[in-house]
Amino acid sequence: MKLQKVLSLVRKAVEDYQMIAAGDVVAVGISGGKDSLTLLQALSELKRFYPQPYTLRAITVDLGFDNMRLDKISDLCAGFNVPYDIIKTDIADVVFEKRHEQNPCSLCSKMRKGALGRFAREAGINKIAYGHHRDDVIETLMLSLIYEGRLNTFAPVTYLDRTDIHIIRPLLYMEEADVQGFVNKYALPVVKSPCPVDGHTKREYIKGLISDLNTVHPGLHGRMFTAVKNSKIAGWERNPPRQGIPH
């Protein structure tokens, strides 16, 4: 997928759900994966012409794995003229060595979000952008249905009252395959996750299940996402466009 198309989808998501306002300080949460790097480039390019001026930063929560190399990501941020901060933590040691968690993803996620939120609040950042795309939306819906017995997924914008920070998800109109194509086309320096459970989670199982269903019922991905947009799940009500913003 070309940059122009990515920017079109990202801008539509930002405007549909009023994710960015003038004066915002937006930090992209950089994991090193394809989604966050795509989001970084998209918001960096969007910033050049978007009518609501905003400041862009990038942050990585370093979980403490010895083999996590971030040099190329640092260079990428420098090329975009985006300040890049790395938060050093011992989350990996706590989760895998001290706690021996049976469900490490849950605790890791909570600790990672906590570290990111604390840093953002102290740094004057009011919005954190996550690289969740369309596939993530419907996978989370299925995870909630199968493992929690409820119909729910994350919202395009989430307000965290403890830190007074909004989480935004500008990639939600992009498919994962499009993200992968963009990364390949523009040779973004993806860093493989050093986590020992990467690729062996419930989410990976659900991803495979949805893929199988989509093979039998072509177009299922799109219909599921449309169902989420048309649902009464909190946060999915589209906001009216601001005056003066062209569509």
Tell me what pLDDT residue 244 has. 39
Tell me what pLDDT residue 239 has. 64
The DSSP bridge partners found for residue 127 are 26, 166
* Rg, C-alpha atoms of the chain: 18
* pTM of the predicted protein model: 0.90
Q: Domain segments of the chain: what residues?
A: 3-229
Tell me what pLDDT residue 199 has. 60
* CATH superfamily, region 3-229: HUPs (3.40.50.620)
The DSSP bridge partners found for residue 26 are 56, 127
Assigned token pair, 224: 């599921």
Among 109, 132, 47, smallest CA distance to 81 is for 47
Per residue of the chain (247 residues), give pLDDT as tens. Answer: 899 999 999 999 999 999 999 999 999 999 899 999 999 999 999 999 999 999 999 999 988 777 778 899 999 999 999 999 999 988 888 887 777 666 777 788 888 888 998 999 999 999 999 999 999 999 999 999 999 999 999 999 999 988 899 999 999 999 999 999 999 999 999 988 777 776 667 888 999 999 999 999 999 999 999 999 998 898 998 764 453 333 3
Tell me what pLDDT residue 37 has. 97
Are 214 and 221 in contact by the 8 Å Cβ rule? The answer is yes
Whose tokens are 């989808």? That residue is 9
